[in-house]
Amino acid sequence: MLKKKERLTKKEFDRFFATGRRRHETLFTLVFQESDSFHGAVVVGKKVHKRAVDRNRLRRRIYNILYRLSRDRDLKGVYIILTRPAAAGAKFADLKACLERSMVLPAKN
């Protein structure tokens, strides 16, 4: 799980969701906005899993991957991950591989 200061408030989520760049993958859609610090959010809707237990399990798995990637790659920016129904049956390794492929790294000067 991300630290509290790395998570988005509702107001921040709405702002970045509206202005961020989107990258569509098979398992999710990534919304990215450049920033000086790292922030992240994961959304798992009822179309992905009907039961809240299953939605929360998938959300925790993706937060875990996002947390590890943020530490390993020293990510900067705002990342919002919107899951798709295909993510419901995906294994942890598939989720991780798809997320690693789609992460947008800021340009280094």
- What fold characterizes domain 4-102? Ribosomal Protein S5; domain 2 (3.30.230)
pLDDT band at 104 (very low <50, low <70, confident <90, very high): low
Provide the pLDDT for residue 109. 38
The sign of the torsion formed by the CA atoms of 33, 44, 93, 39 equals positive
Domain spans in the chain, listed from the N-terminal domain onward: 4-102
pLDDT band at 7 (very low <50, low <70, confident <90, very high): very high
Over the stretch 30-58, which tens digit does the pLDDT of each residue have?
999 999 999 999 999 999 999 999 999 99
Please tell me the distance from the alpha carbon of residue 51 to that of residue 13, in angstroms, as a whole number.
Answer: 24
Q: What is the pTM of this model?
A: 0.89
Provide the pLDDT for residue 103. 80
Query: Is residue 29 within 8 Å of 98, Cβ to Cβ?
Result: no
